[in-house]
Structure 1
Amino acid sequence: MKSIIIGAGKVGFSIAQLLSSENQDVVVIEQDEERAKLIEETLDVQVIQGSGASWSILEMAGVKSAEMVVAVTEYDELNMIACLLAKQYGVKTTIARVRNPEYVETPHFSPESLLGIDLIINPERVTAEEIAKIVKNPEVLDVEYYADGKVQLVELVVPDKSPVINMQLRDLDTSKYVIVSIVRKHKMIVPSGNDVIKPGDHLYIMANTNDMAEVLKSLGIYRKKVEHLTILGAGRTGCYLAHILEREKIPVNIKIIEKNEKRAREVSARLKHSLVIHGDGSDLELLENENIEKSDLFVAVTDDDKINLLSCLIAKNLGAKKTIAKIKRADIMPLMEQIGIDIVLSPRILTAGAILKYIRKGNVVSVTVLGDERAELLEFFAQAGSVAVGKELKRIKFPSGSVVGAIVRNGQVIIPNGNSVIKPNDQLMVFSLPHSIHKVEKIFTSGGKNSLW
């Protein structure tokens, strides 16, 4: 499959890296000479310097034989024009990153059908949706649902006083859940029975949604509720977040702090149940006067990384129970987590993950990209005649870095163990590190030859 990636920033780089690692034919178009050289030296892809909105550059990149074009430059108009041109050449799948809501928020038509682009993705909306999930599940760092909501995957931090500290996995009662991965010191591993749980470990746990509260309790984590939410920044992300929570009627008191008085008034008029305050969110006195210590969750989503960092630290010091900071520079994310900010989100990384999730879909029901190492949680159906069907899991030679997290059969969730047998049409949730993804697909695909996507 031939793919053209327009824009070699963080998002474009991540997509090109994944596709090229699968030995796909990838062409990257980048306007900036220095960035183009960097991509050429780093990735095994063809790089063309120029504008992706130019028909001559697109033809040079081989658009006539391309199956997919992904336009993720910083310019909305360029991305849309590039995708519209690609459609004229007959490209099957086009994806554009578009930030300006005026282009995509139409009252009567979906933006995709209106513009003829297969997927239009807004980084601010993606970020707001991610934060909204955390508002609804504040005891964990991230949450995803599978099998029509029957199966849940959560990312959590093991607390210092957890009853499972220093225990080997083989000694835990994991009849109701599977630990599919442990992240320790920013390294992601698929654990074995000999692995020991340490304080501060990030665990990815999969369980029946109805059992998750009990599972978390056994790990020393108790369900919480966000009653008071403070949002710093009434920009697109903050406004989207408040809209989502209002639309879904989440019972939470929302307070938004915005430095720009005009913007504060505009957002206040658009929101029905949120309090918008004009003020500087990095001002200690203001935060004290607004009783930030009562905030169950403090979310800093301004366009200034430094302000987001500083305000989260102040809020945490004043007593806010949990903090989330939006950060543009992904390279400083580990540092911010080390100094006490609970969750750090990068719109670029979230956007790349959302695009990768879309382009991976085919016969796969869903794909979730996890962590900095781009591990994947694949949801698909076991095919009759595949290597795995009819065998106990302990009899299947799984590639390193992969594990079955859950099985859904006839609408019933099965938390697997070594004796579990895979049957035709079982709906499977399989975690895999990048190097094992294609080996996993061969195990569950009829003949082991046809790609799942």
Structure 2
Amino acid sequence: MKSIIIGAGKVGFSIAQLLSSEDHDVVIIEHDEDRIEILDELLDVKVIKGSGSSWSTLEAAGVKKASMVVAVTEIDEVNMISCLLAKQYGVETTIARVRNPEYTETPHFSPEALLGIDLIINPERVTAMEIAKIIRVPEALNVDYYADNKVQLVELVVDENSPIAGTKLKFLETTHYVIVSIIRKHRMLVPTGEDIIYAGDHIYVMAKTKEMPQVIKALGIKRKKIENITILGGGRTGWYLAHILEKQKVPVNTKIIEKNYKKAQNIAGRLEKTLVIYGDGSDLQLLESENIGKSDLLIAVTSDDKINLLSSLIGKNLGVKKTISQIKRTDVMPLVEQVGIDIILSPRILTAGAILKYTRQGDIISVTVLGEDRAEMIELIAQPKSIAVNKPLKKLRFPNGSVVGAIVRGDSVIVPTGDSIIEPYDQLMMFTLPKSVHKVEKLFINGGKKF
């Protein structure tokens, strides 16, 4: 598959790195000489100097043979024009990063439908929506929904007092849930019945959404309540998040701290129920005077990774129950997690996950990237002539590092066992480590080969 990435900033670099690691034919269009030098050093991809909004540059990049164009420069208009041009050349899939709400939140029409772009993605909004999901299930480190919210996936930490600590999986009562993965010492594995769950493990649990509260309770994880939230940073992510929180059914007390006066004034005028404070979120005296220690949740989403880390650590020291910090540099995430911050989110990884489904074979509904190992939860449709249908799961040779998390058939959600049979057009949630992604795809596409 030939893909053209326009713009080699942090998001573009991550997408190019991901696609090239999967043997895609990747071409990057970038105008900045310094970025081009970095790309030449770090990635084994072709780089062309120029603008993606130029037809001659697109042709030089091989747009006539491209299957996908992803435009992620810092300029919305360049991204949209690049995708419109690519469509004229017959490119099947076009994806544009568009940050300005004036373009993406029009009340009368879908911008994708109007412009003919397959996916318009806003990393800040994606990040805000991810945080909002975590707020709804505050005892989890990550939360995702599938099959029109019928199925839920949560990442939980097993503490030493949990009834499942020290227990083999085969002795757990897993009628209502599946533990699809365990993260132990930064290593992700797909467990078998013989694996033991230890205190400190992170477990990914999949269950029916309506049953997840009972599942979490059975796993010995205490339910938490979020009433007071402090957001550090009144940029796009902070504003989107506050806006989402104002609209949700369960009200919370939300305040935003923003150090840019004009920006603070602007968001104060656009939010109805959120308290906006003009000040520096890394200022200890300010945080103390605003009683930040009383917050149930502190969310640091400024544009500066260092400020986010510092503010989160100060918040923890002042007594904040839980902290979420946005980190754009994915290479330092493993180190950051060791300093006591509860949840680290990367807009780059979240954006890459939204784009990944367009690179997969078969009838793919969604792809979620999980953990440092970049494992994937793939939501797909079992095609009628694929080798996986009409067979019990125990008879299928699933690739190492993969497991079925849930099966959705019509309105019914099935927690799978070895005797479960996949029927044509079933909707499946498949967890897989990166090495097995393409083998999993082949199981469920028409004419897929055995391996």
Return the offset for 1:179.
Answer: 1.0
Q: Which residue of 1 aligns with 2:220?
A: 220
1:230 has 2:236 as partner? no
8 Å contact from structure 1 (residues 10, 349) kept in 2? no
Q: Which residue of 2 aligns with 1:387?
A: 387
Q: Which residue of 2 aligns with 1:288?
A: 288
- Residues in 1 aligned to 2:28 and 2:120: alpha-carbon distance in whole angstroms: 19
1:159 has 2:159 as partner? yes
8 Å contact from structure 1 (residues 136, 225) kept in 2? no
- Residues in 1 aligned to 2:326 and 2:258: alpha-carbon distance in whole angstroms: 15
**Number of positions where the alignment pairs a residue of Structure 1 with one of Structure 2:** 450
8 Å contact from structure 1 (residues 282, 310) kept in 2? yes
The gaps in structure 1 that reach 5 residues or longer are none
- Residues in 2 aligned to 1:280 and 1:23: alpha-carbon distance in whole angstroms: 45
- Residues in 2 aligned to 1:262 and 1:239: alpha-carbon distance in whole angstroms: 14
8 Å contact from structure 1 (residues 69, 86) kept in 2? yes
Structure 1 range deviating more: 183-192 or 48-57? 48-57
8 Å contact from structure 2 (residues 387, 449) kept in 1? no
8 Å contact from structure 1 (residues 213, 222) kept in 2? no
Q: Which residue of 2 aligns with 1:66?
A: 66
Return the offset for 1:333.
Answer: 1.8
TM-score, L = length of structure 2: 0.92
TM-score, L = length of structure 1: 0.92
- Residues in 2 aligned to 1:380 and 1:103: alpha-carbon distance in whole angstroms: 30
8 Å contact from structure 1 (residues 357, 369) kept in 2? no
- 1:299-310 matches, within 5 Å, as 299-310=299-310
Q: Which residue of 2 aligns with 1:83?
A: 83
SS of the residue corresponding to residue 112 of structure 1 reads: helix
Structure 1 range deviating more: 282-291 or 400-409? 282-291
Amino acid at match of 1:54: S
Pair 1:304–1:443, CA change in 2 (3 A)? closer
Q: Which residue of 1 aligns with 2:186?
A: 186
- Runs of 4+ off more than 6 Å: none
Amino acid at match of 1:392: P
Q: Which residue of 2 aligns with 1:259?
A: 259
Q: Which residue of 2 aligns with 1:142?
A: 142
Amino acid at match of 2:253: N
SS of the residue corresponding to residue 365 of structure 1 reads: strand
8 Å contact from structure 2 (residues 363, 445) kept in 1? no
Question: Cα deviations across residues 363-409 of structure 1 (Å, max 9, x unaligned)?
Answer: 22322222232222122232334322232222211111110111123
Return the offset for 1:35.
Answer: 4.1
SS of the residue corresponding to residue 400 of structure 1 reads: coil
- 1:386-405 matches, within 5 Å, as 386-405=386-405
8 Å contact from structure 2 (residues 393, 422) kept in 1? yes
- 1:267-278 matches, within 5 Å, as 267-278=267-278
SS of the residue corresponding to residue 404 of structure 1 reads: strand
- Residues in 2 aligned to 1:211 and 1:150: alpha-carbon distance in whole angstroms: 10
Amino acid at match of 2:205: I
Q: Which residue of 2 aligns with 1:245?
A: 245
Return the offset for 1:359.
Answer: 4.8
Return the offset for 1:4.
Answer: 0.9
RMSD between superposed Cα atoms in Å:
2.3
Identical positions, percent: 70
Return the offset for 1:203.
Answer: 1.2
Structure 1 range deviating more: 390-399 or 362-371? 362-371
Return the offset for 1:129.
Answer: 0.9
Q: Which residue of 1 aligns with 2:363?
A: 363
- Residues in 2 aligned to 1:22 and 1:238: alpha-carbon distance in whole angstroms: 34
SS of the residue corresponding to residue 320 of structure 2 reads: coil
- Residues in 2 aligned to 1:89 and 1:30: alpha-carbon distance in whole angstroms: 20
